[in-house]
Amino acid sequence: MILADSFISKKKFDFNSYFSGQYMLAKNPAHKIPDWHAHRLVNWTLWRAKDDKTKRVMDKNNNQIGWFLGEGVAKSGAYVGDPYILPYDMADPKNWQQAELEIEGIAGRYVVIIDAPEIQRVYGDPVGDFSTVYNKDEAIVASTTLLALTREIEWNPLFDRMRILSGEMHFSLQETPDVALKRALPNHYLCLNTFECVRHWPRADTRLFRPQISMEENLDEVSQRLSDIVGALARSQKVILPLSGGYDSRNIVGAAKEHLKHLQFSFSHQFHKMSRIDADIAAIISKRVGVPFKLIAFDASMKHSHDDRMRYFNRTGYADGGIAVRITRLEQAVPGNMLSLRGNVMELLRANQWSGRFASSEKPVTHFGIKRLLIDRAAPLFDVVDQWGEKYEAWRDTLPESAMRRSIDLAFAEHLLPNTLGVRHFGNVNNFVMNPFSDRRIMQLCMQIPPTVRKANIPNQYLLKRNCGHLSDIPFQRSVASDGTLLDKLAG
């Protein structure tokens, strides 16, 4: 019996709703998960909740070779529906490299599981937003900890449990709450024969350090790709858009303005002073672009309880805590069963992970890279580097030479995001959260722009001028925080 089933049986919770959206994949077909559907192809069995969408992956000859879980947009701009067809004869091993390029080109939050006679692999999205952990000893792959174990959690001694659950520490470098579980790495496939993570992107010929033509050409393509992604999603699903007073959500609104008519509504959370400013700005933007706006304001009834905390910890596998736990009921107050777009990966465009000292370095030093992973901000950096330096450098050595000077950006995508935002998404399940910037082509185009240029905010200024001229008089959060009168005339 898997740990999740044992836990649910004792508590008498509904398994389907408790672990909504999650999955378990195992070589042993004898596992029993109450009310979940079992899907089997060649060597592996996939379990999913009866109401969760499980899309078939087919080859050109109409042979099913796997499953697609989550939401995505192909590099062609088409929504990934059911079935998702790889346009190759997958009985021929020579076609696998081309098939991998197709999978690599998908934007979104997803897992692609391949269970074909010759190939058994798991591919994830570019930033690990669809959480995946694996248990080599028992040949289990799953979304979170409780679904990947058949015993109680043996807590990882490298991390303090209470400091993880309070948000003071973060797992990283594939570590998880349990000593036997590892987190799958974004931009690697997990080989289901060896349980090794094998890098497939960036490749040796992936250009990451200089625009092919110009920064402007890169940003024009980023804008068009973002528009294509939002448009494909909004025409296929019920899409909602959280808005703030920052750059990321405004860039989504600007790039995708021709598709805004398909959105259900925009919304903002209000739970402290800065979020109130965000909400005020968001309401003005929404009115300006003609999208209905909802304010989700915190009140006394939304104070989280012990049961809320435990539900969140169990759903996320005890991998995260902090602010996400405290606003659980606020998240649940958003109308559900829709696709909610977030913009966090766009942080690459601002090079927030870089410091001016290392922004032009061809191989940023180890201690700076480890500092940015936020493993333990309270500990002396020397001690953190001493503990994690060797493992960080082993990861960095998997990068092709052409990607070394962008190792800080890639560590952000492959270690920080999966262990902060990625692990949180299953904590609140009323809506499916997805990042339209989670796209390898967009990430590549951003990384090609020098970090010094990105830190100067030049790319954002270009995109805002290009796409958001109609919003140019609406100030950003920081300006309003300094002068609260800036919104008075606009609000009136």
Q: Are residues 220 and 167 in the same domain?
A: no
Q: Are residues 21 and 45 in the same domain?
A: yes
Other CB atoms within 10 Å distance of the CB of residue 40: 11
Q: Are residues 222 and 160 in the same domain?
A: no
Is the bond preceding 242 in cis, omega lying within 30 degrees of 0?
Answer: no
Across the range 331-355, mean pLDDT stands at 87
User: How many whole angstroms separate alpha carbon 238 and alpha carbon 437?
Assistant: 18
In which domain, by residue range, is 223 found?
215-347+420-491
Which DSSP category does 399 fall into? S
- Check residue 66 and give its pLDDT: 97
Q: Are residues 195 and 141 in the same domain?
A: yes
Query: Closest by alpha carbon to 345, among 188, 229, 200?
Result: 229
Under the phi-then-psi rule, with left for phi > 0, alpha for psi from -120 to 50, and beta for the rest, what region is 351? left
Q: Are residues 178 and 56 in the same domain?
A: yes
- Pairing state between β 265-270 and 239-242: parallel
Q: Is 2 exposed, middle or buried (0-12, 13-18, 19+ CB in 10 A)?
A: buried
Give CA torsion, residues 158, 161, 164, 169, to 10 deg: -40
Q: Are residues 24 and 119 in the same domain?
A: yes
Residue for token pair 């979940």: 36
Q: What is the phi/psi pair of residue 435, to 5°?
A: -110, 110
In this structure, what token pair is assigned to residue 41? 């192809």
Domain end position, chosen among 140, 172, 199? 199
In this structure, what token pair is assigned to residue 489? 């005339």
Q: What is the phi/psi pair of residue 150, to 5°?
A: -110, 15
User: Taking 60 as the threshold, does the pLDDT of residue 492 lie above it?
Assistant: no
Query: Closest by alpha carbon to 77, among 235, 266, 262, 253?
Result: 235
In this structure, what token pair is assigned to residue 389? 């330096």
∠ CA 69-240-435, nearest 5°, is 50
Q: Are residues 173 and 35 in the same domain?
A: yes
Q: Are residues 174 and 268 in the same domain?
A: no
Whole-number Cα distances in Å, 364 to 353, 369, 455:
12, 7, 16
- Check residue 217 and give its pLDDT: 96
Is residue 97 assigned to a domain? yes
**Residue-wise DSSP of 114-134:** EE-SS-EEEEE-TT--S--EE
Domain end position, chosen among 136, 164, 199? 199
CATH code for the domain of 118: 3.60.20.10
Is residue 380 assigned to a domain? no
Q: What are the pLDDT digits (tens) for 188-238?
A: 999 999 999 999 999 999 999 888 889 999 999 999 999 999 999 999 999
User: Taking 90 as the threshold, does the pLDDT of residue 41 lie above it?
Assistant: yes
What is the helix (H) or strand (E) element at residue 362, kind and residue range?
none
Query: Closest by alpha carbon to 233, among 90, 13, 54, 433?
Result: 433
- Check residue 47 and give its pLDDT: 95
Is residue 228 assigned to a domain? yes
Q: Are residues 87 and 224 in the same domain?
A: no
Whole-number Cα distances in Å, 236 to 73, 116, 224, 255, 262:
10, 29, 18, 18, 9
Is residue 434 assigned to a domain? yes
CATH code for the domain of 453: 3.40.50.620
Q: Which residues pair with 46 in a beta bridge?
A: 25, 39
**Residue-wise DSSP of 146-168:** GGS-SS---B-TTS-HHHHHTTS
User: How many whole angstroms separate alpha carbon 12 and alpha carbon 485?
Assistant: 53
Is residue 428 assigned to a domain? yes
How many Å is the Cα radius of gyration of the chain?
22
Q: Give residue 52's pLDDT band: very low, low, confident or very high (50, 70, 90).
A: confident
User: How many whole angstroms separate alpha carbon 269 and alpha carbon 327?
Assistant: 9
User: How many whole angstroms separate alpha carbon 232 and alpha carbon 234?
Assistant: 6
Mean pLDDT of the chain: 90
Is residue 389 assigned to a domain? no
Spatial neighbors of 8 by CB under 8 A, at least 6 apart, are: 14, 15, 18, 34
Across the range 333-343, mean pLDDT stands at 89
Q: Are residues 180 and 220 in the same domain?
A: no
Q: What are the pLDDT digits (tens) for 408-423?
A: 999 999 999 999 989 9
- Check residue 358 and give its pLDDT: 66
Work out the percent of the chain whose per-residue pLDDT is above 70: 96
Spatial neighbors of 142 by CB under 8 A, at least 6 apart, are: 22, 23, 24, 25, 132, 133, 134, 135, 148
Q: What are the pLDDT digits (tens) for 438-486?
A: 999 999 999 999 999 999 999 999 999 999 989 988 888 888 888 778 8
Lowest mean pLDDT among 64-68, 235-239, 241-245, 355-359: 355-359
User: Taking 90 as the threshold, does the pLDDT of residue 106 lie above it?
Assistant: yes
Whole-number Cα distances in Å, 253 to 222, 269, 276, 480:
14, 18, 20, 20
User: How many whole angstroms separate alpha carbon 22 and alpha carbon 4?
Assistant: 12
Three-class SS state of 439: coil
Q: How many domains does the chain have?
A: 2
Q: What are the pLDDT digits (tens) for 2-13?
A: 766 666 666 666
- Pairing state between β 54-59 and 64-73: antiparallel
Three-class SS state of 23: strand
Give CA torsion, residues 24, 28, 29, 34, to 10 deg: -50
Q: Are residues 162 and 96 in the same domain?
A: yes
- Pairing state between β 23-26 and 36-40: unpaired
Is residue 373 assigned to a domain? no
Is residue 395 assigned to a domain? no
- Check residue 362 and give its pLDDT: 64
- Check residue 33 and give its pLDDT: 85
Q: Is 257 exposed, middle or buried (0-12, 13-18, 19+ CB in 10 A)?
A: middle
Domain end position, chosen among 139, 174, 199? 199
- Check residue 411 and give its pLDDT: 97
Q: Are residues 165 and 220 in the same domain?
A: no
